[in-house]
Amino acid sequence: MSNTLSDELYMRRALELAEKGRYTARPNPKVGCVLVRENTIIGEGWHIRAGTPHAEINALYQAGSLAHGSTAYVTLEPCAHHGKTPPCCDALINAGVNRVVIASEDPYPQVNGKGIECLRKAGINVEVGLMRKEAEELNCGFLSRVRRGRPWVRAKIGMSLDGRTALADGRSKWITSAKSREDVHQWRLSSCAILTGIGTVLADNPQLTARTSHDTGLAPLRVILDSQLRIPLEANVLDKIAPTLIVHRSEAEEIKLPSHINRMSIDTCNNQINLKKVLEDLGNRGINDVFVEAGSVLTGSLLKKGLIDELLVYISPRLLGDQARPMIANVYPESLELSPYFKLVEIVQIDTDIRLRFLPIS
């Protein structure tokens, strides 16, 4: 096998390992590491949870003394600073690794090239960029927060064949299948936060929790946009099952909420919450990605402001008719050329439904 093919094989395995941290690594990035010596994998590791050893350390522990003279395949630049754990660069150097292949640089200010520089100064051959696209897609949320100062925003929409999300009276339970709803819970669990508006809370009284077979102990933050604090005290999102953040305008600060509920005051314009400011604040709180489960108005507002990074659309094989509610509201392009345009990146059949994943084309 050529060096290029073998490098890709081992890096692909490192990416598979990184994916194992999908539900538990946040707010840290998902990272995988494979150690190879004489064309044999001698150690594997991934970052399991914030505050625990990084992927490189876990792989080195498995390899033991065999790590000397090996090649390390890492999906993200090894850290070179003391955080909750010691620097991974030092561990790789001390173990005698003589080559490190890195998929993507880490833009986090305390790393940002320092790990690569540290390894090269120690005489280690460092190569960067193999399968960069795949590695960055895996950590789109973390990279968005570090590079743009706001989380990656993934909007979920469940709709009929004719693009409707609810009957004319607002009823929408259930357009999609039970299997699709199970899939949604997996996406919820892999997200740092779930965002909705007060309209959805008043209409459906959702729990907005991730109910899956995975017991991670990490419940996503529920974020409710409620400018006038109309939320009923008996609403499910005010329970203690998962943390909740209520975002409201400053004039509503005097309204009391249960003591365990977090709240954020945001200035409004025409009674509309500044969505960009909300996302920036969530980024400051360490939120990598936001899973939007909202009505057509809030989803439309995010879309108009260019704040949706990904659409996750579940299509049910049913028709609701032209009186039913649309998937997006208040978006009025003046021409086809000016209409929001997306690229299809994934299609999956789930029971009777189809799940489509789109990225915007600017």
Give the CA dihedral 183, 309, 20, 176, nearest 10 degrees.
Answer: 0
Structure tokens given for 311 = 């659409």
Whether 56 sits among the annotated catalytic residues: the reply is: yes
The single-letter code of the amino acid at 141 is G
Phi, psi of 195 (to 5 degrees): -115, 135
C-alpha distances out from residue 229 to 202, 249, 250, 254, Å: 12, 8, 10, 10
Question: Taking the CB of residue 355, how many other CB atoms lie within 10 A of it?
Answer: 20
SS3 133: helix
| Cβ within 8 Å of residue 311, ≥6 positions away | 154, 155, 157, 342, 356, 357, 358, 359, 360
Catalytic residue among 8, 19, 38, 56: 56
SS3 3: helix
The single-letter code of the amino acid at 145 is R
Sheet of strand 40-46: strand arrangement: 40-46, 32-37, 71-74, 99-102, 125-128
223 beta partners: 195, 245
Find the distance separating the first CA and the last CA of the chain, reported in whole Å: 40
Question: How many residues comprise the chain?
Answer: 362
Angle of helix 3-19 versus helix 55-63 axis, rounded to 10: 110
What DSSP letter does each residue of 276-324 carry, written as one string? HHHHHHHHHTT--EEEE---HHHHHHHHHTT---EEEEEE-S----TTS
Catalytic residues: 56
